[in-house]
Amino acid sequence: MNVIEKVHRYIREQQLIAPGDRVAVAVSSGADSVALLRVLLELRQELGAVLSVAHFNHKIRGADAEADEQFVRALAEQFDLEFHCGSADVPAHAREHKLSLETAARELRHEWFAGLRCNGLADKIATAHTEDDQAETVLMRIIRGAGTRGLAGIAPWQKEKELVRPLLNVARAEIEEYLDRLGQAWREDQSNRDLRHARNRVRHELLPLLQQNYNPAIRQTLADIAGIARTEEEYWEKEVSGLMARLVRSGKPSRSGRVAQPPSAVLPCLLGSGSTGAGILALDLAEFSALPLALQRRVLRSVGGQFGVSLEFKHIQELLLFASQKGPGKELDLPGELVAVRSFRELHFSRRPTRTSKPGYQYSLPIPGEVQVPELGSVIRAHLVNAGSQVSGYNSALLEPALLAPELTVRNWRTGDRFFPAYTQSPKKVKELLQSSRLGVQISPKERNLWPVIESAGEIVWMRGFPVPQAFAFLSGEPTLKEAVLIEEIEMPCEARQ
């Protein structure tokens, strides 16, 4: 079966495009998105769809980004298609809102897509995610740790945003072969080869290794896992919605410790946007304890979701143990200032009242440059150092200048901060990293509160006492010498502390 037939069958099976749909095809200039446009052009009469081309310039890659825009514009003109072009300064948005570049780019791009729909220019947006993208996503989530929701990967149709992905059953190799047969050019984004990024290492190193030594069909296998997990999640979401309406009440507890409001009163909240307006949600412990363990875990995760809090597996395990303990009045702190309190018959969930903010500081740190931090009694410097030709692989102390904003932010850590030290399996809460058992030394509460971190465009790239994240670590694979950023903290002179 050729690419055209595969995509046509997938669109029909998933009901992605209906006759009369106005579909804006998101084209970046890369092989996948160019192939998506060419495939849909060949299928548009059979699909009965009206096509246009949508290109978003992220203003990240300078002249290359402008060349991408011109390439896509010419492609739209070649096939006499309406061309929609949007742009935004993604690096500035990332700095302003303290986001990673990837998150900022996706946020602005999707906001622009939504504008196309709101302004009546498109009904749906078609994006060029492939079977390879699906396999990479699932594998990365396995590595980082994920349940069935995470293993569901990329959905064929994200209905709330009207994003459709017609190429999810097509491999990247098939796409390039298809374009070669057409004689259709595309543009390569060199950053897709940069092995400092985790996805690129999975794409160019891990998946080829698994394919060669373990499973020749590993990409298809991982994509199949995503399909199975997705249908499982769809089923369990319906089951849990029914359970939540029966088990969870909204309101304030009475003197007996029981919430008096009937379950039906909380149903609209639980089935709504995922962020409750209720001050307290109460879980009936008698009915909850009678559920199978798998359902108990899902119910607890769903309760967290009502407060906009994503509870990890370890938090669910803590809650299960907490719910089994006898005696009222006990409390369990959870992420996002969420707290669980046990009564005789119920488990009450609410947000902890805003606490008085702890003493803090925040200073700008240019590269290169230094800043005095009186709260620490120290000076923090960002040096540009010659890494030397002997450096190879990831260095646990050096940062890659190209991946950093021109100006860094030195501050004390805040509640909710996460850091991903090199050689660890997943991001950790800074609060957990500062436990004495991890640090190997006892520190005072004041010292803990003032512990320094450095962030770049919203991501923490350095934390005192820990190796820098691999995603930002210096990588030298070049024969010429390169400069790297070294963060140094030194004691402030006594006279400067006065």
Q: What's the predicted TM-score (pTM) here?
A: 0.64
Domain identity same for 346 and 370: no
Q: Which pair of tokens denotes residue 490?
A: 């030194």
Domain identity same for 177 and 303: no
Torsion angles phi and psi, residue 312, rounded to 5: -80, 170
Domain identity same for 467 and 366: yes
Whether 113 maps to a domain, the answer reads yes
Q: Which pair of tokens denotes residue 350?
A: 């609410």
Domain identity same for 347 and 366: no
CA nearest neighbour of 187 among 78, 85, 74, 68 = 68
Whether 321 maps to a domain, the answer reads yes
Whether 200 maps to a domain, the answer reads no
Q: What is the CATH number of the domain that holds 75?
A: 3.40.50.620
Q: Do residues 104 and 220 touch, judged by C-beta distance below 8 A?
A: no
Whether 221 maps to a domain, the answer reads no
Q: Do residues 179 and 31 touch, judged by C-beta distance below 8 A?
A: yes
What is the residue whose two structure tokens read 């006492």? 465
Domain identity same for 297 and 410: no
Domain identity same for 333 and 367: no
Domain identity same for 288 and 394: no
Domain of 377?
362-497
Whether 211 maps to a domain, the answer reads no
Whether 465 maps to a domain, the answer reads yes
Domain identity same for 169 and 66: yes
Tell me the C-alpha to C-alpha distance, in Å, between residue 476 and each of 200, 388, 391, 481, 483: 16, 9, 6, 8, 9
| Overall number of domains in the chain | 3
Q: How far apart are CA 265 and CA 439, in angstroms?
A: 47
SS3 239: helix
Domain identity same for 90 and 183: yes
Q: Do residues 456 and 405 touch, judged by C-beta distance below 8 A?
A: yes
Q: How far apart are CA 194 and CA 317, in angstroms?
A: 38
Whether 224 maps to a domain, the answer reads no
- Kindly state the DSSP code that residue 203 receives in the 8-state scheme: I
pLDDT in tens, the chain (498 residues): 799 999 999 999 999 999 999 999 999 999 999 999 999 999 999 999 999 999 999 888 788 889 999 999 999 999 999 999 999 888 888 777 767 777 888 899 999 999 999 999 999 999 999 999 999 999 988 887 778 888 999 999 998 899 999 999 999 999 999 999 999 999 988 777 777 777 888 989 999 999 999 999 999 999 999 999 999 998 988 889 888 988 998 876 554 556 555 444 444 433 333 444 448 899 999 999 999 999 999 999 999 988 888 888 888 999 999 988 877 778 888 887 889 998 888 999 998 765 545 568 999 999 888 999 988 889 999 988 876 544 444 445 788 888 888 889 999 998 888 898 887 777 888 888 888 767 777 788 888 889 999 999 888 999 998 899 988 888 655 444 568 888 999 887 654 444
Whether 478 maps to a domain, the answer reads yes
Cis upstream peptide for 366 (omega within 30°): no
CA nearest neighbour of 25 among 128, 101, 94, 102 = 128
- Final residue in a domain of this structure, among 166, 191, 216: 191
Domain identity same for 113 and 178: yes
Domain identity same for 249 and 341: yes
Domain identity same for 176 and 31: yes
SS3 223: helix
